Chain A
Amino acid sequence: MNDTQFFEAARVLAEQAYWAASDGNGRIDFLSRRLLSRFLDDKEREIAVRAYQDYLRYYDANPRDARKLLGTGEAPQNPRANAVETAALAMLANQMFNLDEVLTK
């Protein structure tokens, strides 16, 4: 869950998701296709979207934490990516990385 490399991987995947689509749903789809090889169903999507919105709310109010989060690990950050959205996506990616379905593939 908190392993540096593991979290860094989530953070980097989140940055890729950020550039791969222009809206939240598209980015969630990117993450689920990469991690689960499928799309989320309605119930799962609702959970993911609600969580993503909560992460966005927090990092919007705490942009310094967003920057800190994005500094995890050694992979460089892209300064042109919106830090708040990327941090929120990273939390969502970290969440999905830890799914039983992802870990027991």
Chain B
Amino acid sequence: MSVHENGGHVSPKLAALDRETHRRFPRGTHPVDALAQQMAAEETRRRFFGRGLQGIGALALGSLPGGRSDAATSGLPHFPPKAKRCIYLHLVGAPPQMETFDYKPKMADFFDKDLPPSIQMGQRLTTMTSGQSRFPIAPSVFKFARHGKSGAWVSELLPWTAKMVDDIAIIRSMHTEAINHEPAITFFQTGNMIAGRPCIGSWISYGLGSMNEDLPTFVVLQAKHTHPRANVQAISARLWSAGFLSGQYSGVSLRSSGDPVLFINNPDGVPAAMRRRMLDALGEMNEIAYQKLADPETRTRIAQYEMAFRMQSSVPELTALDKEPESVLSMYGDEVRTPGTFAQTCLMARRLAERGVRFIQVYHRGWDVHGSLPEVLPSQCKDVDQACYALIQDLKQRGLLDETLVIFAGEFGRTIYSQGKLTPTDYGRDHHPRCFSLWMAGGGIKGGVVHGETDEFSYNIVADPVHVRDFQATILHLFGIDHDRFSHRYQGLDVKLTGVEKASPVRAILV
């Protein structure tokens, strides 16, 4: 008989049985209590019943077979971490590597010459360029110079980044299989080109937990771009989803202008005390539902409402940028005063980091330079360059950089040949998975390193390839996690962020 059918009343016989059980097993001592606790900690109801009697038996014994991933989080971190938090700046659309960090001087002699087949080696093309009759090489119109003690080559489009090459590690030999944006970004974030798996921030939130009680552990920020004709690719909440992990590990997206969280404030006539009273009662009623049905997502919901309540105070404090000293604001440049800019977003990221937010994911769009590259790319670079420099110096000044991993990356590279009409002053570039560049800094990353090399066409890697999996393994490593031992059982597979193929952290860039 369901509770719903009889209006919520328990029959006298059941009530008597209930009382007898509680007499014989005072609170918490019944074998099923241990079982219920185990369930509460890791299992969803569907998974629990899906394993049948074998699952019940295994759980009730309280012992799990070796390698069971659900118990893995209690053993984390595997070794002392360098990074406590991460700020991941993702450049949506994929910047062209030969215009930023991958200097290819020989290409000047190849202007308008066709890409040799010996270089292309059958690399698949996108439908955007496969119809072209020619693949004329477009050398970069931008100048490069060496910088810092490391002598790293950086283009004139990133003068501020050039100033800090000794703080960052540049990887020029990134590679991926994905050739379009959605699968490529999903792959970077979740280890799989098809959506549904947890993203990096969720894995880390799940594995290591929160460092503060008043803000979400994993926050997402979106920065706007300046150039009106920049080619903008879509991103979606899938990218910061917790996938099959509990909903509490998904990223919380703060709006970049206006209220950071919509409707965070109580309606007129509802003071904090009334809201608190309502949340207490709501939590009590939700807890009853949890006791009946043991769905862990109910507990997640209770926790989220508590977080929302705390954010009513913590978010206004977080966004009070007027409290920042002038010296700090001027480091980021004038745009830091405009809500939604990359500069202000970076400042927000630093504020989140120092308030104990573990993973901050930032998206900046407009990098998909299929056309009008010489016009659009300088604007894109200008949007981010000084702010990146300021963010690193800011973290350094506060003593946070050693424990804060900062990442500056797109999702793939771009072709050396021109997409569309090539002129001495105008060209575009199509997607290129085989090689691209990114940089990382802080949190255990060695500064002043340039890792990996591509051929003269910035088409193929010739030294030290780094796959997306290796990049992910490196992040986990810096957080003290062995990517091979960190998994979660789902659909019968012990799923890892790095997937089933071999991956390893990039030792050469580690302190």
**Which among B265, B269, B270 has the greatest number of chain A C-beta atoms within 10 A?**
B269
**Interface CB pairs A-B, < 8 A, 10:** A2-B264, A4-B267, A47-B285, A64-B269, A69-B269, A71-B269, A99-B282, A99-B289, A100-B297, A101-B289
Is B8 touching A40 in the complex (CB atoms < 8 A)? Answer: yes
Q: Which residues of A are found within 8 Å of B331, using beta-carbon distances?
A: none
Is B289 touching A100 in the complex (CB atoms < 8 A)? Answer: yes
Which of A2, A40, A44, A99 interacts with B263 by CB under 8 Å?
A: A2
CB distance from A19 to the nearest CB of B (A): 21
Known: A41-B288, A95-B281. 4 other contacts (CB 8 A): A41-B3, A51-B277, A91-B274, A95-B278
A39 in contact with B7 given A48-B285, A72-B268, A95-B282 (CB within 8 Å): yes
Is A38 touching B289 in the complex (CB atoms < 8 A)? Answer: no
CB distance from A8 to the nearest CB of B (A): 9
Closest to A40 in B: B8
Closest to B271 in A: A65
Q: How many residues of B contact A (CB 8 A)?
A: 35
Is B3 touching A71 in the complex (CB atoms < 8 A)? Answer: no
Chain A residues touching B, majority SS: helix
Q: Which residues of B are found within 8 Å of A3, using beta-carbon distances?
A: 262-263
A91 in contact with B8 given A44-B285, A99-B282 (CB within 8 Å): no
Closest to A5 in B: B263
A42 to B284, CA, bound (A): 13
Q: Which residues of B are found within 8 Å of A80, using beta-carbon distances?
A: none
Q: Which residues of A are found within 8 Å of B308, using beta-carbon distances?
A: 1
Closest to B291 in A: A43
Q: Which residues of B are found within 8 Å of A48, using beta-carbon distances?
A: 281, 285
Q: Which residues of A are found within 8 Å of B10, using beta-carbon distances?
A: 41
A64 to B284, CA, bound (A): 29
Q: Which residues of A are found within 8 Å of B305, using beta-carbon distances?
A: 1, 98
Bitwise interface map of A from 64 to 105 toward B, beta carbon under 8 Å scored 1, else 0: 111111111000000000000001000100111011110110
